[in-house]
Amino acid sequence: MHIDELLLQIHNSQVSSPTLRIPKDWTQGRTVFGGLSAALLYAAIREKVASDRPLRSLTTNFIGPLLPDTDFNIEVTLLRDGKNVTQVIASAIQEGQVAVFSQACFGTERESKIRVESQSRHQMPLPTKAKFIPQIPKVTPKFLKHMDLSVVEGGLPFTGKSHASVHGWMRFTQPPAQITDAHLIALIDAWPPTILQMLRWPAPASTMSWNLEFIHPHQPVAPDDWFAYQADTRQAADGYCHSEANIWDKQGELIAISRQIIAVFD
């Protein structure tokens, strides 16, 4: 099932708490791919917020597994709708338990004398094709069939690397009708945790908390565009990893900043 079909179910829903069911081709291990579940919660939130308020940040906590082929509901609560800023929360509830929780912050554009241009740049040339893990049964996460990843540095799990950075490019294998914030949320989470490449043997890892800050581009974005991604590990110890990533559009404009806390069970 294409991501547009899943997002459209939320947009077309006639109830305040839509019921969804995600097929197994969007899974990562036993759970639904975290980027997709965060994107769906955001899409449900977006339906409650005025269209002229851009998303500024989205924080998602992955509390328990969200099972595929099993119904779940998304419940949305408007915390505050102020003059400039709107705060909303959403939960994915499955079998009576909260599996995923998100809080989104929207803010209108305002005139300001303060302007600091981003100095973040990358030197990676645009790829001509995907270059990452092939689809290996019971090894490669199923959701990756929907994503094209082209690795430039690091990134391949369980290869015993001495460093913990992941640099590369990403896009959807089958382009959506248009790129929205929901699409970017799903796409940004496609890369494996930065520290998995340091291991020499398979071990499970799970994102506990994920924060995305959006910087809306001034250039138009095409559905088949590549997006640049560079993630680095800030610190890792005691079974937890703190990583940060920058995401740029094809023109080299910074569009998002990602921060994650990841638990690794090696």
Averaged pLDDT, 114-135: 85
Residue 116 lies in a domain: no
The residue type at 172: F
* pLDDT for position 139: 66
- Is it the case that residue 53 has pLDDT exceeding 80? yes
Averaged pLDDT, 122-150: 85
The residue type at 150: S
Domain of residue 32 covers 3-109+125-264
Q: What is the distance between the alpha carbons of residues 181 and 256, in angstroms, rounded to a whole number?
A: 10
Residue 118 lies in a domain: no
Region of poorest pLDDT, from 8-22, 61-75, 83-97, 186-200: 8-22
Averaged pLDDT, 206-229: 91
SS3 for 107-128 is ECCCCCCCCCCCCCCCCCCCCC
- 3-state helix, strand and coil shares in percent for the chain, rounded to the nearest 5: 15, 40, 45
Residue 204 lies in a domain: yes
* pLDDT for position 5: 95
Averaged pLDDT, 62-78: 96
Residue 114 lies in a domain: no
Averaged pLDDT, 208-226: 90
Residue 104 lies in a domain: yes
Sequence-distant (≥ 6) Cβ neighbours of residue 115 within 8 angstroms = none
Q: What is the distance between the alpha carbons of residues 51 and 89, in angstroms, rounded to a whole number?
A: 17
Residue-wise pLDDT for 128-141, tens only, equals 998 887 666 666 78
Q: What is the distance between the alpha carbons of residues 229 and 242, in angstroms, rounded to a whole number?
A: 16
Residue 45 lies in a domain: yes
Residue-wise pLDDT for 7-50, tens only, equals 999 988 877 788 999 999 999 988 999 999 999 999 999 999 99
Residue 226 lies in a domain: yes
Q: 91 φ, ψ to 5°?
A: -130, 140
- Residue 253 pLDDT grade (very low, low, confident, very high; cuts 50, 70, 90): very high
How many domains, in total, are found in the chain?
1
Q: What is the CATH number of the domain that holds 105?
A: 2.40.160.210
Q: What is the distance between the alpha carbons of residues 52 and 200, in angstroms, rounded to a whole number?
A: 48
Return the H-helix or E-strand segment holding 8: helix 3-11
Residue 35 lies in a domain: yes
Averaged pLDDT, 252-258: 95
Q: Hey, is 194 helix, strand or coil?
A: helix
Q: What is the signed CA dihedral for 12, 58, 195, 264, rounded to 10 degrees?
A: -80
- Is it the case that residue 114 has pLDDT exceeding 90? no
